[in-house]
C-alpha cells in the first residue's frame, strides 16, 4: 500500500488495485495546487465544507462516498467497505458547528482511519468504532479541529501502529492552525520519522511494533 499526502486532509491511498482520494480540498480557497491524479473512489467527511469535499476536482470518474450520508453505517464500493463514524465540528470554536464524519477501511490487510474534520474529544462510541486502527490519519493542527490533548487521549486508547499528521499550518497556508511541531514534540525523537517526500509505502509485515509518527511532505503545496 502507498499513502501519499496531497495537502491538508487529502491523501491518495493506493492498494488492492484501487486509487482512493480522501477529503479533497478546493484549490481556490485553500491555496494548494489541484490534485491531478485520477481516482477510483473519493471519500469525503461531509458534502458542505470546501476544504474537505471537492470531489469534482478529481479525474477518472470516481465513485464518491460521503461519510455523513452513511449515518454511522457502511458502504461497499468497488469491493472496498467504508465505515463511517458520525462526528461534529468544534462545539467550542465554531459558531455553527456542522456535522461531519470520520471513516475507516481496510486495504491490503491494514485498517486506515481518517479523522475527517472532527472538532471535539472522541466519545467512547467513536473510540470503539475506531478500534483496531493500524494507520491513523490524524488532525494535528489543533482548533478549530480536535484539541491536541484530546487527540493524544484518543491515540493512547487506539494505539495505532502509525500516525500520519495532517490538517496543520504550512508556510503561508492554514496559518490559524498549529504547526506539526506542536504535535510531534510530545513524542520521543526515535518515534518520529521526518520524510523528505510525500509518500509512505507499507505492508502488513512492515508495520512497526511500537507507535511511529511519520511526517510527510505535501505533494501539492
CA dist 59 and 45 (Å) reads 19
Q: Judge residue 28's burial from the number of C-beta atoms within 10 Å of its C-beta, 0-12 exposed, 13-18 middle, 19 or more buried.
A: exposed
How, if at all, do strands 162-166 and 199-201 pair? Answer: unpaired
Residue 99 C-alpha cell reads as 456535522
Residue 134's domain comprises 2-215
- Please count the structural domains in the chain: 1
Residues of the chain with pLDDT under 50: none
For position 91, what pLDDT does the model report?
Answer: 86
For position 93, what pLDDT does the model report?
Answer: 86
Helix intervals (H) in 68-185: 124-129, 148-158, 181-184
For residue range 83-102, list pLDDT tens digits in order: 999 999 988 888 888 999 99
Show the beta-strand stretches assigned E in 115-217: 135-139, 162-166, 192-194, 199-201, 212-215
Q: Please, which contacts does 73-82 make with residues 24 or more away whose CB atoms are closer than 8 Å?
A: 77/41, 78/18, 78/40, 78/41, 79/16, 79/18, 80/16, 80/18, 80/20, 80/41, 80/105, 80/107, 81/105, 81/106, 82/43
Number of helices (H) and strands (E) in the chain: give both, helices first.
Answer: 4, 14
For position 90, what pLDDT does the model report?
Answer: 86
Looking at residue 92, which CATH number applies to its domain?
3.60.15.10
220 within some domain:
no
For position 75, what pLDDT does the model report?
Answer: 97
193 within some domain:
yes
146 within some domain:
yes
Q: Starting at the edge strand that comes first in sequence, how are the strands of the sheet with 10-15 ordered?
A: 63-66, 41-44, 18-22, 10-15, 2-7, 199-201
9 within some domain:
yes
CA dist 147 and 216 (Å) reads 21
Q: Which residue has the cell 461534529?
A: 88
26 within some domain:
yes
125 within some domain:
yes
Q: Is 40 helix (H, G, I), strand (E, B) or coil?
A: coil
221 within some domain:
no
The alpha-carbon radius of gyration of the chain (Å, integer) is: 16
CA dist 113 and 82 (Å) reads 10
Amino acid at each position: 500500500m502507498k499513502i501519499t499526502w496531497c495537502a491538508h486532509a487529502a491523501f491518495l491511498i493506493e492498494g488492492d488495485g484501487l486509487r482512493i482520494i480522501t477529503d479533497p480540498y478546493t484549490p481556490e480557497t485553500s491555496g494548494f495546487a489541484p490534485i491531478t491524479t485520477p481516482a477510483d473512489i473519493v471519500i469525503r467527511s461531509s458534502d458542505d465544507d470546501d476544504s474537505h469535499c471537492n470531489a469534482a476536482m478529481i479525474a477518472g470518474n470516481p465513485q464518491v462516498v460521503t461519510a455523513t450520508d452513511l449515518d454511522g453505517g457502511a458502504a461497499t464500493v468497488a469491493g472496498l467497505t467504508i465505515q463511517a463514524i458520525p462526528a461534529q465540528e468544534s462545539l467550542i470554536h465554531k459558531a455553527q458547528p456542522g456535522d461531519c464524519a470520520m471513516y475507516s477501511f481496510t486495504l491490503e490487510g491494514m485498517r486506515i482511519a481518517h479523522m475527517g474534520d472532527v472538532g471535539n474529544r472522541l466519545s467512547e462510541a467513536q473510540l470503539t468504532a475506531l478500534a483496531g486502527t493500524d494507520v491513523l490519519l490524524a488532525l494535528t493542527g489543533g482548533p478549530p479541529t480536535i484539541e491536541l490533548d484530546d487527540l493524544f487521549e484518543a491515540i493512547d486508547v487506539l494505539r495505532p501502529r502509525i500516525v500520519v499528521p495532517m490538517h496543520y499550518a504550512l508556510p503561508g497556508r492554514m496559518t490559524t492552525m498549529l504547526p506539526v511541531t506542536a504535535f510531534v514534540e510530545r513524542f520521543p525523537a526515535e518515534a518520529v520519522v521526518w520524510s523528505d517526500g510525500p509518500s509512505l509505502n507499507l505492508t502488513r509485515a512492515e508495520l512497526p511494533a511500537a507507535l511511529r509518527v511519520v511526517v510527510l511532505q505535501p505533494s501539492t503545496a
